[in-house]
Structure formats: C-alpha cells, structure tokens
Amino acid sequence: MSRTIRTFEATITNQQQVRDDLDQLGWAASKLWNVGRYYAQEQWDETDEIPDDGELKAELKSHERYTDLHSQSSQRVLEELAEAFNGWFGKRRNGDDRARLPGYRKNGDAHPRSTVSFKTAGFKHDTQFTRVRLSRGRNLKEHRSDFILCEYQTRPDVDLTVWDIQQVRAVYKRDEWR
C-alpha cells in the first residue's frame, strides 16, 4: 500500500484576527526549543551523550513552556530539536569538525516566530468554510477560546476535500503567517 504525501501552502485570509495568537504560539515554540536546547547541552556536557526525543519529552513535559502549546505541537518541537542534534552528531562522527551544534532560537533579545506543527489531535479542518481550528496549549487558554480559527485560501486547483489531512503547520513567512 503506498501513501501519497503532499504539502499544500495556504494563505491565511483573516491574518489580522489571528496574527497575535499565532505570534504567541510561534514565540512559545521558540522558547520550548531553547529550554530543550539548554537541557540537551547540559546532558552533553555531563555525559557526552545527546538525549533523544523520548528523553526530551519525558524530562520537559512538566515544564511550563511545554504546556504553552498543544501537547502534540510541543512534542514536535522537541522531535525537531532531537533531529537537529542527531544531524550534528552524525556529521561530527563522520569527521566534520566544522559542524555546529543546533543553536538557540533568538533574534537579538527577542524570540523569533518558530513554525508550529499540529498533528491530528491538535486541529480540526472545516472544508465547507475553508478554515482550520488550531488548538492552544493549556497555559494559553485563559481568558480566550481554546483555539485559533484560521480562514485560508489555497490555489484554485487544490481541492482539500479529497485529502486526509494529517498535519497542519503554521509557518511565518514573508512577514505573515501561512
């Protein structure tokens, strides 16, 4: 059985209504990356070993930055961090002494807007009204709704009703969220 995996890019048409909320999630993802990056460095310094994504998740799931995002979104941030460390370690092992550790996500003193991934439990797709509902983390639900409702538009030749969407990613690109 073969699976077709496609990526479709969509423009968020209600950018002004959702921008601050998406910025908050993007900054939260950057902060979680940095917390995980710090933990991984500590482990490397103490043991000469890099924690895998399972250890990162187990160690950081009680951290307040983890609960800023939907749990699956937090898991994905830490999986990406572990992948970055494994890539660095693999290059070092193969003799590339110029390979650099994954960095912290910062822009001056500010956190940049990191991509936030939502697995199936973290979003609801409404094809009838071309919108997607993105879940917030537990810490960011106070005084607001539990989700961010993004209206979107794809290319005219893309029909998302025929696809079983498994993941949605909020990406900050060219000064807007997509």
* Span 101-146, pLDDT tens digits: 899 998 777 768 899 999 999 999 998 889 999 998 876 665 556 8
DSSP 163: S
Closest CA to 51 of 80, 92, 86, 103: 86
Main-chain dihedrals φ then ψ at residue 42, nearest 5 degrees: -60, -45
Beta-carbon contacts of residue 172 (< 8 Å; ≥ 6 apart) = 22, 26, 112, 113, 114, 115, 178
For the segment 14-55, what is each residue's pLDDT rounded down to a tens digit? 999 999 999 999 999 999 999 999 999 999 899 988 899 999
User: What residues does 11 pair with on adjacent strands?
Assistant: 153
- Judged by DSSP in three states, 100 sits in coil
Buried b (16+ CB within 10 A) or exposed e, 77-87: bbbbbbebbee
pLDDT confidence of 12, banded at 50, 70, 90? very high
Closest CA to 24 of 140, 168, 178: 140
For the segment 71-85, what is each residue's pLDDT rounded down to a tens digit? 999 999 999 999 999
| C-alpha gyration radius of the chain | 18
Residue 4 neighbours by CB distance under 10 Å: 6
Q: In this structure, which amino acid lies at residue 112?
A: P
